[in-house]
Structure 1
Amino acid sequence: MEHLLLGKMALIAAAGITAQWLAWRLYLPAVILLTAGGLLLGPATGLVAPHADFGELLRPLVGLAVAVILFEGGLSLEREELKQVGGTVKRILLLGVPMTGILAALAAHFLAGFSWSVAFVVGALLVITGPTVVIPLLRQAKLDRETARTLKWEGILNDPLGAILAVVVFEYLVQDATSPGAFLLHAVGGVIGAAVLGVAAAWGFAWANRRGEIAEFLKAPVLTGLVAVVYAGGNWLQAEGGLISVTLFGAGLANLGLANLDQLRRFKENIGVLLISGLFVVLAATLEPSMAQQVDWGLVAFVAALLFVIRPASVFLATIGLGLSLKRRLFLGWIAPRGIVCVAVAGVFGPRLVEQGYPQADALVPLAFLVVFVTVVLHGSTVGWLGRKLGLAAGPEHDVLIVGATPWSAALADALHRIGLPVVLADTNPHHLTIAETHVPTFAGEILSEQAEQRLDLSRFEHVIAATDSDSYNALVASQFALEQGIDRTFQLASHPEAAPSQLRPEARGRVLLGEGYDSDWLDDRLREGWQFRCLRLARGGVAKLPHQAVPVATLEPSGEVWFRAKEGGFRPGAGDTVILFAPPEVAMTLEPCGKPKSARAQRAEQRAASKAAREAANKAAKAAGALSGKSVTGPER
């Protein structure tokens, strides 16, 4: 039995990570594939039956996983960033969330047929718009900064707010007090106690951390253990109050100025991804074929009302008087995908309510899955298209960030800009940007600072090139951005001879742009000798032949995707691609300057226009020749 249970746990982990990997490779919302994996292991094949396999441990394990996810979300709630959010998010949270909860409760009662008690639980659960779903969608959609920031912070803050609201409603349904006053006193006391516990835990950990009372290698394990203790303590103070405690625990740590918080946050993010993967698979596996019978036309009507009436109405009413454009209000009123916390909280509350005598609560989990699946599919498939239609999102462009304004990097930025790629050149020294005389947008400041994240929206860059004259700083920038952009899209210049290879470990560097030997000094020297950036468009159906003396830098595919050449390989320009070359003067004069390549339609239009002009010129020439011929023949006869 023990080996069988261990095998099922390994199967759950494998299914979750495989779904995450496929979602990354296929650019799909991970929630869809995780749900599919859980349905495959559970109802479809019966390989995993969580209630039978885990028994009474299932509920506390699910609750603890939710606690870790909420704690990780709380670590993102930094006060300085929240100051930049503006009135839109405040209105949506303070007015939109209550309106969504009330309207959803009304729809759950009158459309889906839930009792008033269960209907208000449904309303509380469905105010949550999970950041685990919203943020990946924003990265794909490339929305403008104001719209993206609004959705991002709404999603992050809705997790704890929705959890708190659900806890209060749940506590009211299961409490033993006979009067509203007694319940209010009990609920407020429990919420305050859970909140104080979370804040105290954050302050205590920060105090011990600053005094050096915790060894560096123990900080992450101690923090993980504290999350479990705080969650259990909050639940002891009030049923499910641990969700409040761990959320404030994370938010408190995020605002106490811990020097090594980024490392701890990264560790918790990794745990969060693993827990989300396994938790979604387990919760999907708990669904039974009989639950499909509970999805009737009333639930379908409820979900339709949630999508097309409740969310748009809440946003429109909450943002009255803010001066938001109609397009932005339409977009915000449509995009509100629900995520893992909604399903997980439903998995915690549903069985408890059934035990308390609310039989309709057994529909909470299938309803939550239905809402999550429908919103993720619809919003995930339309966020980019609708954003572009409303003018709130950029097209399928591939932004490039170049860190370090050296003469060579400025010339590279101009070349990329001329072929139509969005480029930003950043440097800590404004003087370097001034003397670079580049025609691309620039950023003066520390690229690794919070200011850069707020002003540039770093998530929109698909490629990052660290091109300063400092090898160690290049390695630092590359290693930091590789965590988000991926190592295959993060580059740094080759190290100088005196620094390579002994002073910098390979694992502490990004991919080496161009290859070893092409450091900043060598590239700047060649630029002073007259080397230039040139473009070579490879003919379709032909053989890719590049000038031997030139240095290939990047290739631009007809689709607009750009690939940079690295020491590690993978640079294979194909027919129809445009290759960017760094070439000596004698080679550069034989190549065309870089310019934005024309689309196939534009090229055909140019060819038609040229053919038409050639025909018109030929006709004019023929007429002129005929006129001259006529004069020469008839002149003497006259």
Structure 2
Amino acid sequence: MGAEVLQTVTTFIIALAAGLISMIIARRLHIVPIVLLLITGVLIGPEVLGIIEPQKLGATLEIIIQIGVAIILFEGALTLNYSQYRKVGRVIFKLLSIGVIVTWLFNAGAIFLLFGLPFTYALFLSSIIVVTGPTVIMPILRRVNLKQNLTHILHWEGILIDPIGIFLAIFSFELLISHGEGNILFDLFLRLGVGTLIGGLFGYIIALALNKNLVPPDMQNSFILMATLVTFAICNALSHESGVLGIVVAGIVISLTTKISIEEIKKFKLDLTDIFIAVIFILLSSNLNFDNVKRFFPEGLLLLLIITLVTRPINIWLCTWGSTLKFHEKVFLSWIAPRGIVAASIVTLFTFTLQANTTLDAAVRDNLWFMETFVFAVITFTVVLQGLSAPVVAKMLKVRHDLSKNWVIVGAHELSYKISKYLARFDKNVIILDSNKFKLERYKQMGVATEHGDSLAYDIFDREPFIQTGRLIALTDNIDLNTLICHHWKKTIPLEGLYKWIGITATSKEKNSAPRDPLASLAIWSNLSKPSILSDQLGKEERSLIIKKPEELTSYERENAIALMVINQDNEAIFSPDPNKKELAPLLTREWLFLAKKSFSLAPFLDHRHIFTLDKTFDQPTMIYDHLLDLLIPALNITTSQEHDNLIQNIHDQAKKETICIGNHVALFPILKKTFSEPLIALIKTDAGIDLNAYDKKPIHLFFFIFAHNADSLRYLSIISHISKIVTDKLVHKQMLDQISSEQLQQIIDLAISEKNI
């Protein structure tokens, strides 16, 4: 092996080792990895210890950087959630449009005035630092625990601004190298056209190959890596510097058009990205020239202060004008705008191109040193200053959020739904997470926040709903899976906030697992059956979850109810509390959640105020519907005439289609609508019956109206079943027909419910 080859291999290996070790330490310390990468690179570079000398790599350094940047930018495009573009709020939209232009022009003006550089060069330099980036924003958001509205803004600004910044950098680059001559727009659209068309074409071909299963699963990662580099090379061959746009477009197309899961591909690309970030930052920071750094200051310090304390606040105030954000919230947003991986990648890529360009103006060529020094100074200044100060500033401005309010329940079923409703009474934000879309849809329609996804996905924490999760309950039927879920989520949630169901069959060791165990979490409800079994029982009304103060329990409930949880004075959950313990005496006045062994009962849904006896004669059943609705306006919470008319029309339409004529003078009318959170039963008895073409040709005297949520099928069917048990009892049926007043009718029904235990 020649001396040059040996030196290249040694330099690459040292850079890789130093970079990855720095990233591991940074993540263990919960700080942004860029900080340690920059420090490590400078220390082992020629300016300090001299362990590596990147400049001696020559063209090899450019090859490494080119490949690394291609993979970094492709991974960023591949992992973005583009469906969120249409969901962003007005403030974020302004930050991505007005904010980008303001940042670009203001910073370019500051560079031009302070350093006297050509304005096109200043515009190009300013375009590079427009982007913020999720790699530096996400660690800050996890550490600071901001209010949700601020988290939402910073999160999506960091994610969605990347491709916009790349487009702006390409445009600015075109302005710079054109020298004001030739057709700037033609050259720009040529690069944009080649990058978009070639990148889109290759992205479509890659997605098609994956969708058609043309590539074996075990070779998909290698195939994607090869295709990424081929796309980058072909774009650059057809039009210089169009490869950057090409791989971004390819990543977008693949992300939008692949029908199969690409989670493993994303994870592979993320691993490669980590490797190249480590190598690139070490090589570049070790190559920083201290003389250039000295030349950058003191004017450079003033420039950094303008970027941080002038441009960003102006940007935020313009983009949040007329919003509901408060003054102190705007101040915090003005303070946070760290730059990271994308800015470093762009400047690295264009540095080699500009150094090779022989037609540059002398004023630009003589100041090429400024480019890397400036960008890395901005990265270091913003990441270190804003990253370290963010918790203190957030506390001073009172924009922090109590993480104990944010809960995730893994597993979509009736038990998790009932628990979420209990927690919501104490102002908790609960999300049910499951990989089954069908299950989630039911609870979403019932007003619960749901998220579809894999709780063990590597990037689950980067999804906005889970950035500030403070508590998690793993509530699947699989004990081992619950343990793995808690182990996975302990990266962002403290152990005292992780809870798992471990089942009746769990060993004593599992039931008493200590937090010091790497896989440990707090085992809860080990005396309960599987969540799916409990959910089935809850759905069939064989069991019920009741919310009461312990002193309000009936004697039957005290004997048969199990205390599941209570929220204490500190707003923390206590699981499986014992009401008889002296230390819990202060909590007896609070509402507890109990699991009761109780059959489904009609009583809570058939209120005496909703039972009516009418001596009027009705020619048409629609007349009864209209009269009933007028009687039930308070119970159904109807506040406007529009709501009244819509519900009347809904009742008429459903009655035509779904009337259940049991016969023997009885009919059931289901009115299913998602606005009914809880079932409500109304009963009308008319002396003059109405002919509804019942099978026995008898007129209908007893009209049962069932108002229920259209997704609450289990309780709806239970109600029909129990009403059937009452009206098919010959004695009860006769007594109901004979009663004159609604009070007498109520007494008959109450007695029947009690005797039949329904």
Matches within 5 A, 1:76-475: 76-175=79-178, 179-181=181-183, 183-322=184-323, 324-355=325-356, 356=358, 357=362, 358-395=365-402, 399-404=406-411, 424=430, 426=432, 428=439, 443=449, 446=452, 448=454, 457-469=465-477, 474=482
- For residues 578-631 of structure 1, give each alpha carbon's deviation from its aligned partner in whole angstroms, at most 9, with x where no partner exists: x9675778xx535436869xxxxxxxxxxxxxxxxxxxxxxxxxxxxxxxxxxx
Q: 1:224 to 1:399 in 2, by over 3 A?
A: same
- For residues 140-186 of structure 1, give each alpha carbon's deviation from its aligned partner in whole angstroms, at most 9, with x where no partner exists: 222233322222222223222222222222233334x87343x2112
1:260 alignment partner, SS class: coil
Question: Quick check: 56-65 or 319-328, which moved more?
Answer: 319-328
CA RMSD in angstroms comes to: 4.6
CA contact (8 A) 1:130 1:338 kept: yes
Mapped partners of 1:172, 1:361: distance in 2: 16
Mapped partners of 2:144, 2:575: distance in 1: 31
Matched residue type, 1:386: V
2:309 alignment partner, SS class: helix
CA contact (8 A) 1:406 1:467 kept: no
What displacement does 1:409 show?
A: 7.7
Task: Select the structure of larger CA radius of gyration.
Answer: 2
Residue matched to 2:584: 592
1:50 equivalent to 2:57? Answer no
Q: 1:124 to 1:149 in 2, by over 3 A?
A: same
Mapped partners of 2:443, 2:87: distance in 1: 29
Matched residue type, 2:53: A
Q: 1:397 to 1:273 in 2, by over 3 A?
A: farther
Matches within 5 A, 1:67-78: 67-78=70-81
CA contact (8 A) 1:102 1:123 kept: yes
What displacement does 1:496 show?
A: 7.5
Q: 1:212 to 1:407 in 2, by over 3 A?
A: closer
What displacement does 1:71 show?
A: 1.2
- For residues 411-461 of structure 1, give each alpha carbon's deviation from its aligned partner in whole angstroms, at most 9, with x where no partner exists: 99999999x9967373757999999xxxxx9645656599x9999711212
- For residues 287-314 of structure 1, give each alpha carbon's deviation from its aligned partner in whole angstroms, at most 9, with x where no partner exists: 1222222222211111111111112222
CA contact (8 A) 2:31 2:139 kept: no
Specify which structure has the higher proportion of helix: 1
Mapped partners of 2:463, 2:228: distance in 1: 33
Mapped partners of 1:431, 1:97: distance in 2: 41
Q: 1:410 to 1:594 in 2, by over 3 A?
A: farther
CA contact (8 A) 1:92 1:318 kept: yes
Question: Quick check: 392-401 or 324-333, which moved more?
Answer: 392-401
What displacement does 1:55 show?
A: 1.4
Matched residue type, 2:41: G
Matched residue type, 2:76: G
Q: 1:21 to 1:487 in 2, by over 3 A?
A: farther
- For residues 386-405 of structure 1, give each alpha carbon's deviation from its aligned partner in whole angstroms, at most 9, with x where no partner exists: 33444433157585533348
Matched residue type, 1:6: V
Mapped partners of 1:516, 1:458: distance in 2: 22
CA contact (8 A) 1:354 1:360 kept: no
What displacement does 1:407 show?
A: 9.9
1:129 alignment partner, SS class: coil
What displacement does 1:479 show?
A: 8.4
CA contact (8 A) 1:144 1:394 kept: yes
What displacement does 1:234 show?
A: 2.1
Mapped partners of 1:520, 1:147: distance in 2: 40
Q: 1:216 to 1:325 in 2, by over 3 A?
A: same
2:257 alignment partner, SS class: coil
Mapped partners of 1:261, 1:485: distance in 2: 26
Residue matched to 2:610: none
Mapped partners of 2:116, 2:169: distance in 1: 20
- TM-score normalised to the size of structure 1? 0.72
Matched residue type, 1:203: Y
CA contact (8 A) 2:20 2:278 kept: yes
Q: 1:254 to 1:561 in 2, by over 3 A?
A: farther
What displacement does 1:214 show?
A: 0.9
Mapped partners of 1:178, 1:136: distance in 2: 42
- TM-score normalised to the size of structure 2? 0.61
Matched residue type, 1:265: K
Matched residue type, 2:284: L
Residue matched to 1:628: none
What displacement does 1:216 show?
A: 0.7
2:430 alignment partner, SS class: strand
Question: When the two structures are aligned, how many residues end up with a matched partner?
Answer: 538
- For residues 91-145 of structure 1, give each alpha carbon's deviation from its aligned partner in whole angstroms, at most 9, with x where no partner exists: 1122211221111111101113323232122111121212211122122222233
Q: 1:432 to 1:399 in 2, by over 3 A?
A: closer
Matched residue type, 1:225: M
Matched residue type, 1:238: S
CA contact (8 A) 1:351 1:361 kept: no
Matched residue type, 1:378: L
Matched residue type, 2:314: A
CA contact (8 A) 2:407 2:469 kept: yes
Matched residue type, 1:403: V
CA contact (8 A) 2:500 2:522 kept: no
Residue matched to 2:14: 11
Mapped partners of 2:483, 2:367: distance in 1: 57
Matched residue type, 1:169: S
Mapped partners of 1:371, 1:120: distance in 2: 16
Question: Quick check: 41-50 or 4-13, which moved more?
Answer: 4-13
Mapped partners of 2:491, 2:217: distance in 1: 21
What displacement does 1:191 show?
A: 0.9
Q: 1:174 to 1:60 in 2, by over 3 A?
A: farther
Matched residue type, 1:179: E
CA contact (8 A) 1:493 1:513 kept: no
CA contact (8 A) 1:492 1:512 kept: no
- For residues 292-340 of structure 1, give each alpha carbon's deviation from its aligned partner in whole angstroms, at most 9, with x where no partner exists: 2222221111111111111222232344445544444333332111112
What displacement does 1:205 show?
A: 1.3
CA contact (8 A) 1:467 1:520 kept: no
1:265 alignment partner, SS class: helix
Mapped partners of 1:89, 1:581: distance in 2: 40
Residue matched to 1:618: none
Unaligned runs of 5+ in 1: 436-440, 499-509, 529-552, 555-559, 563-578, 597-638
Question: Quick check: 315-324 or 65-74, which moved more?
Answer: 315-324
Matched residue type, 2:281: F
1:25 equivalent to 2:28? Answer yes
Q: 1:216 to 1:354 in 2, by over 3 A?
A: closer
CA contact (8 A) 1:405 1:425 kept: no
1:592 alignment partner, SS class: helix
Q: 1:414 to 1:317 in 2, by over 3 A?
A: closer
Question: Quick check: 220-229 or 480-489, which moved more?
Answer: 480-489
Matches within 5 A, 1:486-635: 492-494=500-502, 511=519, 513=521, 518=526, 520-521=528-529, 582=576, 589=581, 591-592=583-584
- For residues 214-247 of structure 1, give each alpha carbon's deviation from its aligned partner in whole angstroms, at most 9, with x where no partner exists: 1111111111111111111222233222111111
Greater length-normalized contact order (CA 8 Å, ≥ 6 residues apart): 1
